[in-house]
Amino acid sequence: MNDELDDIEEGEEELEIINIKGDPNQKLLRLDKFLIDRIPNTTRSKIQAGIKDGFVSVNGEVVKANYKVRPDDEIELKMPPKRVIEINAEDIPIDVVFEDDQMLIVNKEAGMVVHPGHGNYTGTLVNALMFHFKNLPQRGSFNDRPGIVHRLDKLTTGIMVVAKTEESITHLSKQFSSRTSDRRYWALVWGDIEVNDGRIEGHIGRSLKNRKVMQVFPEGDFGKEAATNFKVIKRYGYVTLVECKLETGRTHQIRAHFKFIGHPLFNDESYGGDKILKGTTFTKYKQFVHNTFKEIPGQALHAKTLVVDHPITNERLEFDSELPQGFQNVLDRWDNYLNNRKD
């Protein structure tokens, strides 16, 4: 329940549903203590994490770990199934920005899922890596993610680091978990953000209504702590280009945080950004926006810069990638609109 890779989940597995009913003579008992006695091969901390992430409900309602189980309570627990995935090497081109004997820096294209999972067993970055590079190391309990240190959404483009040795995957993973790596993204968001720079805080967890998207829980009742720093790069009137620097790496963090503050990412279907949220009611403007949507397959989000310490030399390395052509076309179209519009 507590994912070791907390960045991005694409092609996630279907969850196994476990139903437990409280005894008719059940004495009041904390939910986490109640479950630890009934679920084999787990720990109280994992159960507490699962409860906090919204994977446990009582009588159809998501509750906290300190909820007292009562007689005849109906408890539903969602758990990832044990996975046995056979990964096949596939001759898929990879855009390699940097390579040495310890690590790779790749530029992921839109539409490519990082690793195999439910509904995406082929065509992933991992399938491609296995063809081009042999004996990539595994991380933790994951046997289907060789070399993978972190992830990006399927439709998010940009820079990723891949480990080539056991030493490097340990070293690089520690940098991400201890937050000593530096990840910067460019995002185009709806609206004219009032400030030039800022920080968005708020726990992020799976939506209690739709588990395919993430939700911000400002009170910290569910999810995990998350913080995103941003600064404005350019204003286009009805949209704003921002650079985001992650302090944490939660699933859909940038997308969920900007939705939370009222500025969804441009063309982000999952978070409402694929509709016209700002601008005029003129037909010409509407047509302009819809044509601009067509330039990119999904949210306008690009992992532009990655800074890490080399696993062996400890040299601080910075890698940068150009915006994909579609994203650049979107900015050019908005730039042209800004310069030619008549208020």
Q: How many CB atoms lie within 10 A of CB 84?
A: 7
Q: Which of 215, 259, 258 is nearest to 62 (CA)?
A: 215
Give the contacts of 241 (CB within 8 A, at least 6 positions apart).
Answer: 186, 187, 188, 232, 233, 234, 235, 331
Q: How many CB atoms lie within 10 A of CB 243?
A: 16
Joined together, the tokens standing for residue 32 give 């986490």
Q: What is the CA radius of gyration of the chain?
A: 22
Q: Report the C-alpha gap between 146 and 143 in whole angstroms.
A: 7
Give the contacts of 209 (CB within 8 A, at least 6 positions apart).
Answer: none
Phi/psi of residue 31, nearest 5 degrees = -60, -45
Q: How many CB atoms lie within 10 A of CB 248?
A: 16
The answer to whether residue 91 is catalytic is no
- Mark out the alpha helices in the chain (DSSP H runs): 31-36, 44-52, 125-132, 166-177, 253-260, 283-293, 325-340
DSSP class of residue 194 equals: S
Q: Report the C-alpha gap between 52 and 305 in whole angstroms.
A: 32
Amino acid code (one letter) for 281: T
DSSP class of residue 272 equals: T
| Residue 261 CB-half CA count within 13 A | 23
Given 32, 153, 192, 268, the catalytic residue: 153
Give the contacts of 149 (CB within 8 A, at least 6 positions apart).
Answer: 139, 160, 161, 162, 163, 169, 172, 173, 176
Locus of tokens 């569910």? 222
Residue positions counted in the chain: 343
Taking the CA atoms of 289, 291, 297 and 301 in sequence, report the sign of the dihedral they define: negative
- Catalytic residue numbers read 153
